[in-house]
Chain A
Amino acid sequence: MSIGGESVVEIADAFAKGEQSAEALTQAALRRLETVGVELNAVVALDSNFALEGARKLDQARAANQVLGRLAGVPMAHKDLLYRTGRLAECGAPLRRGFVPTQTATVLSRLDSAGAIDLGRLQMAEFAMSPTGFNGHYGHPLNPWNTAHIPGGSSSGSGVAVASGCIPAALGSDTGGSIRLPSAMCGITGIKATATRVSVAGVMPLSWTLDCIGPLARTARDCARLLTVLAGADDADGYCSTQPVPDYEAGLDGDLRGMRIAHVGGYYEATLDPAVAERLAEARQVFEQRGAVFVQTDVSNMDLINAMSHVVMTVEAATLHRQWLTDSPDQYSPQVRGRMEPGLYYPATRYAEALCLREKLARKWLEEAMQDCDLALLPLMPRSVPSIAETSEGDESDIAAVITQMTHCTRGINYLGLPAMSVPCGFTAGLPVALQLVGHPFDEATLLKAADGFQLESDFHRQVPVVQFGSAGS
């Protein structure tokens, strides 16, 4: 087996059966990251010695018949805002250049314990603050399906590295769509769990109330295995939920009969591109073929929810960055400084009100959008994947409109705190299209089951792009 599109589960199983050594898997992933990953600007730095040392220990453990973790032998790399003691974590920002943390993120410790191999750090938008993936200092990571297009962000390197078959999975963070957007635009599967479901200890925050850490991977089954390892109470994160974590993978039986899915219209479909609408309609048919039932619903309050989201995110980001914004404003790219700046001007009472109303608005959204359904199906992005030019050249107001449109269906979900997944559902003009599944609080299991059932009938998530560098075509 080589690395190049295999899933987490396939690689872990091959290692467990003795078909591949962890060292060989690690070397293959490193080679692909050093070539394809670097060409696509997905890589910040690789830690080959650390990775190979870990891989050899796993090979020795297997040879000694020791119990192996569920991710044993799986090579991964991660967004460069996850701390590992003694290793740089630079958050896509010159201001963090040379920063060496003295703690390891809980999520990385959990992956280590499960036997995953950490290959290094992946590119990201500056301070996780761009849905395009663009980094004003380190350039554009390239969409492997068409290098003239954006990969989505802010976990851009994670999306690109997985989609291009360098690694089977990576961690990212999601504050307004930053796991789901690169997953969608790169044609892979990603999950943002319920707020507080996964520890954020040891992660550079953007907005501590909205930030969620989660996996970008090939399949829903991969996400289930990863989330089972990642989720759960953590003494290092006082807000992390103590609710028990099920074995998400054990619940994937492919049986969607009787599952009730809300087809949420109104706000979510008002600006839908016809080609995207067509892919979503085809996807709903697949769910129905497997026995799911759709219920048409609608939502109100979305302008208010988006305003709340903006207040919370910008105030928390501006709070974290105020000193740096004061002392070193030129160290930020203008786009990122401009996105944080509103947080300096909102009254404290607006911020407190936005937090006070969060639960009430979440309940209202659930009542309207979900009614008595098990989950909701929404667009992930109402348009096709934008080109780099559309998001960086020309009139500023046009660029701002494109960027706002990209998060139209994602940013409110973070404010509501709900779990959500991005699932590939086809292509338009050679670029991936995704659907979004949104669940009840702490019901990630239903999302994963639905996504897995859909992927038993489709192969969009298994396709690996043939990367053509310097070409506008795929």
Chain B
Amino acid sequence: MMDTKALLATVAVTLQRMPTNTEPVDTVADVVIANNRLVADAATAMMTLETVPQPPRPLVPGGGK
């Protein structure tokens, strides 16, 4: 099974059209993996079926047009 770092590199090469020598260094991979998990877990907890299908919201409370 492909490890996470190799998977990230594959994503970059195939989907982002980066040069084939693209591979995240360990520190970048670590940050991405950690933040990915934090955001995903928060979205699971905070984006309920009731709130997700709403129309686009202003960027900040009271903001935008």
Instruction: Give chain A's interface residues, CB within 8 Å of chain B.
Output: 194-196, 209, 238-239, 241-243, 303-304, 307-308, 310-311, 322, 325-326, 329, 338, 341-342, 344-347, 349-350, 353-354, 356-360, 362-363, 366, 400, 416-418, 441-442
Q: Which residue of A lies closest to B30 (CB)?
A: A342
- Shortest Cβ distance from B50 into chain A, in angstroms? 12
Q: Which residue of A lies closest to B5 (CB)?
A: A345
Residue from A303, A347, A356, A416 in contact with B60 in the complex, judged by beta carbons closer than 8 Å:
A416
Are the C-beta atoms of A196 and B46 separated by less than 8 Å? Answer: no
* CB closest chain-B residue, reference A242: B65
Q: Quick check: A303 and B38 within 8 Å, CB to CB?
A: yes
Chain A proximity mask over B3-32: 1 for CB below 8 Å, otherwise 0:
000001001100011110010110111011
Bound-state CA distance A468–B11 (Å) is 51
Chain A binding surface, main DSSP class: helix
Closest to B9 in A: A345
Chain A residues with CB under 8 Å of B51's CB are: 360
A363 to B12, CA, bound (A): 35
CB-based contact A345/B65 at 8 Å: no
In Å, the complex CA distance between A400 and B26 comes to 14
What is B's interface to A at a CB cutoff of 8 Å? Answer: 8, 11-12, 16-19, 22, 24-25, 27-29, 31-32, 34-36, 38-40, 42-43, 46-47, 51-52, 57-65
Point out which of B16, B35, B47, B60 has the most chain A C-beta atoms below 10 A from its C-beta.
Answer: B60
Subset of 21 A-B contacts with CB under 8 Å: A195-B60, A241-B63, A241-B64, A307-B39, A308-B42, A311-B39, A326-B16, A326-B17, A329-B19, A338-B25, A342-B31, A344-B11, A346-B35, A353-B40, A353-B42, A357-B47, A358-B59, A359-B59, A417-B61, A417-B63, A442-B63
- Contact A356:B47 (CB < 8 A) given known A303-B38, A304-B39: yes
The 5 closest A-B pairs by CB, nearest first: A417-B60, A353-B43, A307-B35, A307-B38, A345-B8
CB within 8 Å for A353 and B39 given contacts A241-B65, A341-B24: yes
Number of A-B contacts (CB under 8 A): 112
**A353 CA to B40 CA, complexed, in Å:** 8
CB–CB A441/B38 < 8 A: no
- A196 & B63 in contact (Cβ 8 Å cutoff): yes
The reply to whether A357 and B63 contact each other, CB–CB distance below 8 Å, is: no
Chain B residues near A416 (CB, 8 Å)? Answer: 60
Tell whether A417 pairs with B36 under 8 Å between CB atoms, given A304-B42, A326-B18, A357-B46. no
Q: Given contacts A354-B39, A418-B60, are A345 and B28 in contact (CB under 8 A)?
A: yes
Partner of A356, one of B8, B43, B62: B43
Chain A residue contacts of B28, Cβ below 8 A = 338, 341-342, 345
Which residue of chain A is the closest to B11 with respect to CB atoms?
A345
Give every chain A residue within 8 A of B16 (Cβ-Cβ).
322, 326, 344
Partner of A359, one of B17, B18, B22, B60: B60
* Distance to closest chain A CB from B43 (angstroms): 4
Q: Chain A contacts of B38 at CB under 8 A?
A: 303-304, 307
Supposing A194-B63, A359-B57, A362-B61 touch, asked if A344 and B18 sit within 8 A by C-beta, the answer is yes
Name the A residues within 8 Å of B24 (CB-CB).
341-342, 345
Whether B52 pairs with A350 at a CB distance below 8 angstroms is no
Once bound together, how far apart are the Cα atoms of A350 and B42, in whole Å? 10
